Amino acid sequence: MDLRSIAADIPDYQEFHTVDELNLSSRRLLEQYPDLVCAKEIGKTRNGEPIELLSIAGGDAHAFVFGGPHPNEPIGCMTIEYLTQRLCQDEELRGELGYTWHFIKTIDADGMRLNEGWFKGPYSPTNYARHFYRPARDEQVEWTFPIAYKSLQFDDPLPETRALMRVIDETKPKLLYSLHNAGFGGVYYYVSRACPPLYETFHRIPEWFGLALDRGEPEMSFADPLAPAIYRMLTSMDMYDHLERHGVADPAASIGFKASSAQYAERHGSFFLIVEMPYFDEPRVNDLSPTSTMRRDAILKAMDLAIEHDAWIRGQHSAVEGALQLDTPVRRALEDFLAMSAGFREADKEWVMTAEETARPATEAELFSNLYTSRFYKLLNTGLLARMLKDEIAAGNKDAGLRSASEAAAARLEADGLALESALDWRAIPIRSLVGVQCCAGLAAAAYLQSA
């Protein structure tokens, strides 16, 4: 398989497709390749939209690829747009890989529709935050699989999660590819088990598209690195044990997450892959130069900034909570994210004060993660607050205090966004590059599994 040739073939996408555009594209694919592609409804979303599985006939092994595991993550939807077309057009590639392929373009169509306000641009951190939506933990399709671990007990999956369970159990995929993506930083990977022959390829692919590996702080302090920017897949059991180890009294309540698709697919021996990519990057995301700041101090500074920001959000929310009239996904998301931060912060602070690996100078990449990437993600919570209050006013809520809070939230969003963008040498990454990395990494993993 000539991955470089495939990389060169990725179209120059200028915008992200909406849910309706994705559905229309699927209809065209079925019309173009009726003898190769079939579609099957495998469930409905909570709002009643059909969940469609596209299958491309091939070999005895099965690969299952699904997009939009979080609805603010449309890169994977575009990756599926390309992969489905390429696999249908390229009989030699299908034969060489030897899989029957299964795709769900977006597993949380309801949530993705709530993100479409930024899909056509302009692509900037502030505009992304204005229209951002990511569900509360108990409404996340990817993280509501059944689990029984210590006091973390759950067996009531969402309809979309049940659809994923059905496909995983029916196909028993050799490769399960959940098409997540991050927001700001560099490229990094999660895999369900060690795969040394893939590491060099995973490191090389981003270079083909002008992207850098993320060499800053890991997403979670307890992430297990297998190679630079390649981590063993995080599980809810890992989260539970981390919280328990660092003194959190009720880890199950602090986690909020249940099991993931990776954990569920373990019963079938599936290899699980995530390729996390940002919408925005900056030269410092992989700069390993040492700084004069201790890593421990940088992490604590990030925590202090987060505490200040969360306190402001809580204050604004508390002041208007009695006047809120709508029970919306955006409101539930904001309130859940505010509830989530305390337990993990408590455990992480205990870790950072005692871990040997934090008692050294931070690299430029680590300093960037703590002082800037963290600010980007806090901007998203400000966006949720502003959006929640704007929705109330649009629905006819006349409360004067709510209107004042809405103006304050909108003003802080714009001010914090401008301050962050002005402090960085950031760029919006071409969609073609994001699709290319995700596509090539997935094909490389598929070929590796067939030869292993």
Measured CA to CA, the distance from residue 295 to residue 319 in angstroms comes to 36
pLDDT category at 356 given cuts 50, 70, 90 is: very high
Provide the pairing of β-strand 427-428 with 50-56. Answer: unpaired
Look at residue 342 and tell me whether its pLDDT is greater than 70: no
Q: What is the average pLDDT value for the chain, to the nearest integer?
A: 96
pLDDT category at 343 given cuts 50, 70, 90 is: low
Burial track 210-227 (b if 16+ CB lie within 10 A, e otherwise): ebbbbbbbbeebbbeebb
3-state secondary structure of 228: coil
Span 154-213, pLDDT tens digits: 999 999 999 999 999 999 999 999 999 999 999 999 999 999 999 999 999 999 999 999
Please indicate, yes or no, whether the overall pTM of this predicted structure exceeds 0.95. yes
3-state secondary structure of 95: helix
Distances (CA, A) of 447 to 57, 96, 419: 17, 8, 45
pLDDT category at 443 given cuts 50, 70, 90 is: very high
Span 217-244, pLDDT tens digits: 999 989 999 999 999 999 999 999 999 9
- Count other C-beta atoms under 10 Å from residue 42's C-beta: 19
Span 83-128, pLDDT tens digits: 999 999 999 999 999 999 999 999 999 999 999 999 999 999 999 9
Amino acid of residue 5: S
CA atoms within 13 A on the CB side of 199: 12
Domain parsing of the chain, residue ranges? 3-282+429-451, 289-425
CATH of domain 3-282+429-451: 3.40.630.10
